[in-house]
Amino acid sequence: MAIIEEEEEESLLDHLPKTYTKGGLKTMPFIIVNETLEKVASYGLQPNMVIYLMKVYNLEIVTATSLLSLWSALSHGLALLGAFVSDSFLGRFTVVAIGSISSLFVCPNNSAL
51-106: per-residue pLDDT in tens? 999 999 999 999 999 999 999 899 889 888 888 888 888 887 888 888 888 888 87
Determine if the pTM surpasses 0.85: no
Residue type, 70: L
| Local confidence band at 113 (pLDDT 50, 70, 90 cut-offs) | very low
Q: Which element (helix H / strand E) includes 36?
A: helix 28-56
d(CA 65, CA 103): 28
| Local confidence band at 13 (pLDDT 50, 70, 90 cut-offs) | low
- CA–chain centroid gap for 51, Å, is 29
The DSSP secondary-structure symbol of 16 reads: P
